[in-house]
């Protein structure tokens, strides 16, 4: 199994009119989540949007476990990729294909950490770069490409740190949860048994 951090930068969030600026991915360890490969960034300003889509297309068409998508809110990325692929006549992403693809999205975990609120859930993750995602379109328009690349590099590092922490801490948290549940269920079972004994005594 090959895990890859995956993300895109776009000119906005409108699937009908916005475009993809960059597509980036990096190989991660399936055990620890640490980086074991170089960060790849396909930049539309170095060629074109259609060119970077063509370059990335094999990653979408490969076998499910050859490229496991790891990211945050990656359904958005899939939707944007799908619309842009259709725009250029490069095919489309079948929903059944997405169901078969192996992917891991940390968004639900971040929402839970944010007291169950979807609003501002991404702020739960520590950031090293003050640039925000919604400022990327302006940087692209002003052709400040090095700033976009620096943002991507920092965002990748920040994500991987959090992902590594999840990989390390969540298994022990789950173990603790099940142990606690077992005790509670045992208590409930014992309580039920005592109630049955009491009923039999009175009957």
* Cα end-to-end span (Å), the chain: 61
CA atoms of 61 and 93, how far apart (whole Å): 9
Domain segments of the chain as ranges: 3-168
| pLDDT, average across residues 185-189 | 60
CATH among 3.40.50.300, 3.30.420.10, 3.30.56.10, 3.30.200.20 for 3-168:
3.30.420.10
Average pLDDT on 35-39 reads 94
pLDDT at 157 over 70: yes
The pTM is what?
A: 0.84
Each residue's pLDDT tens digit, 66-99: 899 999 999 999 999 999 999 999 998 877 777 7
Q: Is 65 helix (H, G, I), strand (E, B) or coil?
A: helix
| CA–CA separation, 90 and 21 (whole Å) | 17
The model's confidence at residue 165, banded by pLDDT at 50, 70 and 90, is very high
């Amino acid at each position: 199994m090959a895990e890859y951090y995956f993300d895109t930068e776009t000119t906005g969030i409108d699937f009908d009119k916005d475009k993809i600026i960059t597509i980036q991915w990096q190989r991660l360890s399936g055990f620890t989540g640490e980086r074991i490969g170089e960060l790849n960034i396909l930049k539309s300003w170095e060629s074109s949007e259609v060119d970077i889509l063509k370059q990335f297309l094999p990653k979408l068409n490969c076998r499910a476990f050859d490229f496991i998508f790891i990211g945050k809110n990656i359904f958005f990325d899939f939707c944007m990729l799908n619309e842009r692929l259709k725009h250029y006549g490069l095919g489309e992403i079948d929903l059944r294909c997405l169901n078969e693809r192996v992917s891991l999205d940390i968004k639900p975990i971040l929402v839970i950490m944010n007291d169950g609120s979807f609003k501002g859930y991404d702020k739960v993750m520590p950031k090293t770069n003050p640039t925000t995602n919604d400022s990327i379109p302006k940087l692209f328009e002003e052709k400040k490409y090095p700033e976009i690349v620096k943002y991507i590099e920092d965002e990748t590092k920040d994500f991987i740190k959090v992902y590594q922490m999840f990989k390390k801490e969540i298994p022990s948290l789950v173990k603790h949860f099940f142990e606690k549940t077992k005790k509670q269920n045992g208590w409930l079972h014992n309580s039920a048994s005592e109630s049955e004994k009491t009923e039999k005594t009175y009957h």
